Amino acid sequence: MNEWKSGFVEANGIRLHYTRTGGDAPPLVLAHGVTDAGLCWSPVAAALAQEFDVIMVDARGHGKSDAPERGYGPVEQADDLAGAIAALGLERPAVLGHSMGAATALVLAGAHPEAPGAILLEDPPAWWTGVADATAHQERRREMRERAAAYQRRSRAELIADKDAEQSGWSADELGPWADAKLQFSPNVLSVYESENAAEVDWTAILPRITCPVLLIMSDPERGGIVTDETAAALRELIPQLEVVHIPEAGHNIRRDQFDRYMEVVRGFLGAYEGVSAT
């Protein structure tokens, strides 16, 4: 990690921070989930650094990136990521996203089909189903705001100790970046739960525009995974080329729960497409 470089790019009217492993290998962009940050991908980046030039971007309101008052929906974040890809001169990189970052990757591939060479989705929110519950939406916002505030009342050491006790299966390399991200997180991100503060997504219109290869990685709903067999099938109806892999014994944080199997799946998918994998 000492050889990794970090910097900032101007994209979509804001400044975004990134960390990059570098080298001449094909580019792979990693898009993190809400309240995480780019360096939360460090174990994945370290594992792939010999095969890919891995670029970990801090989404707006996360890590060291700018945190404007509003604009935190998938449309804005996809435009941010498209701007970062262009600013860094990346040519059709693969994009791997988790949760919020997976939703960003979906919109990126539909709205900016020239940008990604392939997208990989780690347990995205199943917004393409069109099921909306206003009461649940507001409850989710309240819970997230309370959780984020609680995180920021803790010290880094306390956060690491708490998460280590809660998630005994996570590697030690996950805990420091996870804690740092929670302390950097801007509450402005939660404005996305106020509908007037984020552009709406017409999922049934944008997803069929995706032409690149797509992999959905899903886990066990009973362990906290978001995607079900039904919502995966609904996504395939919108994206016929979708490939789906289920990793058992994992929850929403699939890579953190089952790292070795996750990396096997990611490598296998990337290796199947000429120009995406170095091998």
Q: Which DSSP string corresponds to 177-221?
A: HHHHHHHH--GGGGGGGSGGGS----HHHHGGG--S-EEEEE--G
The token duo for 16 is 């975004």
Q: 200: which residues sit within 8 A by CB, 6+ positions away?
A: 73, 75
Angle of CA points 95, 99, 104, to nearest 5°: 50
What distance in Å separates the CA atoms of residue 107 and residue 263, rounded to the nearest whole number? 24
Question: Is residue 206 within 8 Å of 110, Cβ to Cβ?
Answer: yes
Question: Residue 227: helix, strand or coil by DSSP?
Answer: coil
The verdict on residue 22 lying in a domain is yes
The verdict on residue 137 lying in a domain is yes
Range of the domain at 142: 5-271
pTM attached to this predicted model: 0.94
The verdict on residue 95 lying in a domain is yes
What distance in Å separates the CA atoms of residue 192 and residue 242, rounded to the nearest whole number? 27
What distance in Å separates the CA atoms of residue 122 and residue 1, rounded to the nearest whole number? 24
The verdict on residue 279 lying in a domain is no
CB atoms within 10 A of CB 86: 14
The token duo for 49 is 């650094």
Which amino acid belongs to residue 188?
N
The verdict on residue 276 lying in a domain is no
The verdict on residue 227 lying in a domain is yes
The verdict on residue 278 lying in a domain is no
What distance in Å separates the CA atoms of residue 251 and residue 87, rounded to the nearest whole number? 34
| CA distances, 121 to each of 5, 69, 163, 240, 252 (Å) | 25, 27, 24, 15, 12
Q: Could you say which residues of the chain have pLDDT below 70?
A: 1-2, 131-138, 193-199, 274-279
H or E element: which one contains 236?
Answer: helix 229-238
CATH value at residue 82: 3.40.50.1820
The verdict on residue 266 lying in a domain is yes
Number of domains in the chain: 1
| CA distances, 181 to each of 40, 63, 177 (Å) | 8, 6, 6
